[in-house]
Structure 1
Amino acid sequence: MSSIKGMDSLLRKIDAVGGNSKKALKEGVLQAAKKVQGDAKDLCPADTGELRNSIQARIEDRDGKTVGLIATNVEYAPYVEFGTGQKGEASQSPPKYDGDLSYRQDWAGMRAQPFMYPAAAQNKVHVPEIIAASLRKELRRLGGR
């Protein structure tokens, strides 16, 4: 949360006037996650639409922090995002996949068609703005400034 200037102060103000800062924070994180989800869907290549339609957004509590997650359960998603074979390895793509995705040199493969990483990257500024707006909305609802 340190990426949003004044976050701790805003959370304390909301709680001090009888609001629910945790609820407002969760709503803001979910709104931000849905923004990234929408952009990932827009950027996702679509043959059948299966991959695009599988992109979901949700929030979780991790170690006392609310985290927004955007994910897909389609098993071929990493191959689309990071490419395969020689073309995948040569692609100007997001950071290379650190999981079990080998760029076999005996196979031409397919170029990377990133959609998740660019969606997250293009919202780097918007995510904190959306969360802060949600918190300010809660404070205004309670009669604060």
Structure 2
Amino acid sequence: MAKVKGLDKLIKDLAKLGEEGIKTIAGVTEANARDIEVTAKQLAPIDSGKLRQSIKSFEVGKLKWKVLANATGLAPYAAYQEFGTGGLVEVPAELAEMAIKFKGKGIKKVDLRPQPFMYPALVKGRKQYVEDLKSELEVLTKKV
């Protein structure tokens, strides 16, 4: 699972500002999850369009969102597009635990080159998320 360095402290600092801080976190979190979804859709390879259609962002708890490929079941091949197959597999270290779930049994050798779309969207999105939270924290602390 990918983590965002310094995020916990930022969220705690914003939450200390009460209801307005919580609403700010919720808004920034939703906006950034949706931005990651849009970026992933833009980067996803196009064949039938099902992969792009399968990328969705959704709320999973208070202040928590997920962005998934194959969220709709339309693109069970999403992980193979992201990481590649056979001898061409490329997995970022922070996603290794998740990617191993898609490892084949080695029965059939198919070398598909990776076409990352989720990871680049995540990298871009999490950087923007921290910047947005810091910016909002500054605005709110000036009000107080």
* TM tier relative to shorter chain: 0.7 to 0.9
The CA deviation at 1:82 is 1.7
Where does residue 71 of structure 1 map in the other structure?
68
The CA deviation at 1:105 is 6.6
Amino acid across the alignment from 1:83? G
The CA deviation at 1:135 is 5.2
For residues 3 and 110 of structure 1, what CA distance do their matches in structure 2 show?
A: 36
1:6–1:56 Cα change, 3 Å: closer
1:70–1:99 Cα change, 3 Å: same
* Residue aligned with 2:76, SS: coil
* Residue aligned with 1:33, SS: helix
For residues 135 and 25 of structure 1, what CA distance do their matches in structure 2 show?
A: 9
Amino acid across the alignment from 2:27? E
For residues 134 and 14 of structure 2, what CA distance do their matches in structure 1 show?
A: 9
For residues 49 and 76 of structure 1, what CA distance do their matches in structure 2 show?
A: 13
Answer yes or no: is the 8 Å Cα contact 1:28–1:131 preserved in 2.
yes
> Which consecutive residues of structure 2, in runs of 5 or more, have no partner in the other structure?
none
1:118–1:6 Cα change, 3 Å: closer
TM-score of the superposed pair, with normalisation by structure 1 = 0.72
Where does residue 88 of structure 2 map in the other structure?
90
Query: Identity of counterpart residues, as a percentage?
Result: 27
Larger Rg belongs to:
1
* Correspondence list, 1:129-140, <5 A: 129-134=131-136, 139=140
Answer yes or no: is the 8 Å Cα contact 2:14–2:25 preserved in 1.
no
Where does residue 99 of structure 1 map in the other structure?
101
Aligned residue pairs: how many?
132
- RMSD of aligned residue pairs (Cα, Å): 2.8
For residues 76 and 137 of structure 2, what CA distance do their matches in structure 1 show?
A: 36
Where does residue 44 of structure 1 map in the other structure?
44
Higher helix residue share:
2
> Which consecutive residues of structure 1, in runs of 5 or more, have no partner in the other structure?
none
Where does residue 122 of structure 1 map in the other structure?
124
1:2–1:42 Cα change, 3 Å: closer
Where does residue 6 of structure 2 map in the other structure?
3
Answer yes or no: is the 8 Å Cα contact 2:10–2:134 preserved in 1.
no
Answer yes or no: is the 8 Å Cα contact 1:25–1:135 preserved in 2.
no
Deviation larger for 69-78 or 42-51: 69-78
Answer yes or no: is the 8 Å Cα contact 2:33–2:125 preserved in 1.
no
